[in-house]
Amino acid sequence: MQIKTAVIAALPALGALAVPTGSSGNNPDATFPAAYGLIVGTDIQPFHFESFNANNNKFWLNLPQTVTSCPYTGTDQASFCPPGNETAFTGAGSLAVTVPGGQQIYVDISGALMFTTAHTHAIPYGAVSYPFTFNLAAGAQYGSVSTQAFGADGFMACPTYGSIAYQVFANFPEAQVPLGNVADCVPFVPLAVPYTAGNSAAWQYD
């Protein structure tokens, strides 16, 4: 399966996410961008240049695609709806949304990277909220995002039953992954690539 070729061919579809271009040393400020996407910018197969997709309160690589909604869609106020076709983040664990109250990111006790349903701040007991850490290496154009939730040393992409979808988990040995074996998962470090179409990428993620 020529996944890498297909992903590179689809790069223009990343739209408002700037495509990683290597190191330039032009960004000395080691803080999260105002809004950013998370992209696997290293040559890890089959995820090279894949971005995080928010779908069904979880995060994925490859498939399924980002799912969003906006209450003004199809009305004369549709201009209030952000683009809604990419997954973007703010700070150490929020989605870049317009919906009142926002949507928070957390790692649940299974290790899965999750986000709250719109209009609620409820996260499960024992979950780790605002789980992201940020690092900008000397000379790097884009910082990297990691997590230390439950003692993790970053993220991993885990295969799911009967699908090319990979679900994002915190990388620690006790994670309860879809196929039951952490050894099936692929560790990776995503890059925080600035989102350039405003501070909100969607009204809400679903």
Residue 204 is predicted with a pLDDT of: 98
| CB-based burial label for 134 (10 Å; 0-12, 13-18, 19+) | middle
- The low-confidence residues of the chain, meaning pLDDT below 50, are 1-13, 21-29
Calculate the alpha carbon distances from 55 to 8, 64, 171, 173 in Å.
Answer: 22, 7, 20, 25
According to the model, what pLDDT value does residue 25 have? 40
For the entire predicted model, the pTM comes to 0.86
Distance (Å, whole) CA 73 – CA 23: 40
- Category of 35 on φ-ψ map: left (φ > 0), alpha (ψ -120 to 50) or beta: beta
Task: List alpha helices for the chain, DSSP H.
Answer: 3-9
What's the CA gap between 153 and 85, in Å, rounded?
Answer: 29
d(CA 161, CA 166): 10
Q: What is the pLDDT of residue 20?
A: 52
Structure tokens at 76: 């004369």
For the domain made up of 3-7+34-205, give the CATH fold. Answer: Trefoil (Acidic Fibroblast Growth Factor, subunit A) (2.80.10)
Burial (Cβ within 10 Å: 0-12, 13-18, ≥19) of residue 6: exposed
Query: How is the chain split into domains, by residue range?
Result: 3-7+34-205
Q: What is the mean pLDDT of the chain?
A: 86
Residues paired with 113 in a beta bridge: 107
Per-residue confidence (pLDDT) for residue 2, from 0 to 100: 30
pLDDT at 15: 64
